[in-house]
Amino acid sequence: MLNEYSLILLRGLPGSGKTTLAKVLSENNTYPVFSVDDYFTNEITGEYIFNFQNNHLAYKQCETLTHDAMQQVISKVFVHNTFTMDWEFEPYFKLAKKFKYNLFVVTVENYHNNKNTHGVSDEQLQKMAEKYKLKLF
């Protein structure tokens, strides 16, 4: 039985439209939207500067912000990341269980042929795509 609380994970390759879809679904920021990319994005200038050495901190920040929003009993919480590997999902699955939130995983596909804004090469995108698993049943 569905309750009124939902954690929605948007997954997809860079450039697929995860960020744009998250903004649409959040109803003009009525609901919180979190991403690992937020850690690397300057809040004032909007400039994105990735630093692999801090990647673990970015993942932790995203998880913590999600936890805090769920602890506040916000009815919808959105997280948009690539989620190419199972370990990236695990903390969010645990949070959904802990706070009794419905869990939805939505895969965003790049039918609009956008390019990613992070400069990820086509070769790297292909490697990421090969890691994707879909759970259809």
**Which mean pLDDT values do the consecutive 10-residue runs of the chain (137 residues) have?**
87 92 94 96 90 95 98 97 93 97 95 80 88 83
pLDDT in tens, 58-90: 999 999 999 999 999 999 999 999 999 889 999
Domains of the chain: 6-131 (3.40.50.300)
Query: pTM of the full predicted structure?
Result: 0.90
> What percentage of residues in the chain have a pLDDT greater than 90?
69
The CB-based long-range contact list for 89-97 (8 Å cut-off, 24+ gap) reads 89/9, 91/63, 92/7, 92/9, 92/63, 92/66, 95/7, 95/63, 95/66, 95/67, 95/70, 96/7
Helix (H) or strand (E) holding 10: strand 6-11
